[in-house]
């Protein structure tokens, strides 16, 4: 009889994009059943003491060392173009940033003199209306889907 094939592990919280899940933290708390574990232990999560670490074997030095090659800088000929936004994105619309350092954060779109900016909340950079240009923030393919 052939050995059983392992089924791949699938997350209970599928990704909308990498790093942003479909469900919120509070929803996943309930789905994982953490509330039941906490209730069973008198309102406190059970603690497990760490096992003592095993001593590591002495590491051998590598047999081969890389050559001292100098990497060439990558040539980037891209010219920044103005962002084309979906018609439904108007000043005052609240969006969720899908890429970059602030992904997952909510921002409000405002129209200034010559270009669109997404202004966020106080918690993004400890200042009100922290600005990022839409080109570096919005992921246009996401808005073109629906």
Asked whether residue 19 is domain-assigned, the answer is: yes
Residue 84 is assigned to a structural domain of this protein? no
Is 65 inside any structural domain? no
pLDDT score recorded for residue 28 = 92
| Cα separation, 111 vs 131, whole angstroms | 11
Domain membership of residue 89 (yes or no) is no
| Residue 78 is assigned to a structural domain of this protein | no
How many domains does the chain contain in total?
2
What is the average pLDDT across 27-54? 91
Chain position carrying tokens 């891209």: 78
Tell me, what's the pLDDT at 131? 45
Q: Which domain holds residue 112?
A: 94-144
pTM, full prediction: 0.34
Contacts of residue 55, defined as CB under 8 A and 6 or more positions apart, other chains included, come to none
Tokens, residue 34? 């953490």
Q: Does a structural domain hold residue 99? A: yes
The average pLDDT across 123-141 equals 44
């Amino acid at each position: 009889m052939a050995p059983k094939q392992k089924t791949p592990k699938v997350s209970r919280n599928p990704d909308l994009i990498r790093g942003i899940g479909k469900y919120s933290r509070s929803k996943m708390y309930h789905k994982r059943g953490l509330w039941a574990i906490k209730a069973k232990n008198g309102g406190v999560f059970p603690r497990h003491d760490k096992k003592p670490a095993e001593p590591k074997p002495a590491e051998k030095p590598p047999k081969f060392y890389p050559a001292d090659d100098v990497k060439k800088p990558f040539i980037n000929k891209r010219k920044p173009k103005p962002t084309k936004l979906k018609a439904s994105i108007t000043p005052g619309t609240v969006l969720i940033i899908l890429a970059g350092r602030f992904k997952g954060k909510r921002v409000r779109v405002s129209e200034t003199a010559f270009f669109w900016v997404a202004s966020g909340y106080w918690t993004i950079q400890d200042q009100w209306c922290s600005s990022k240009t839409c080109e570096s923030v919005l992921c246009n393919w996401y808005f073109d889907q629906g």
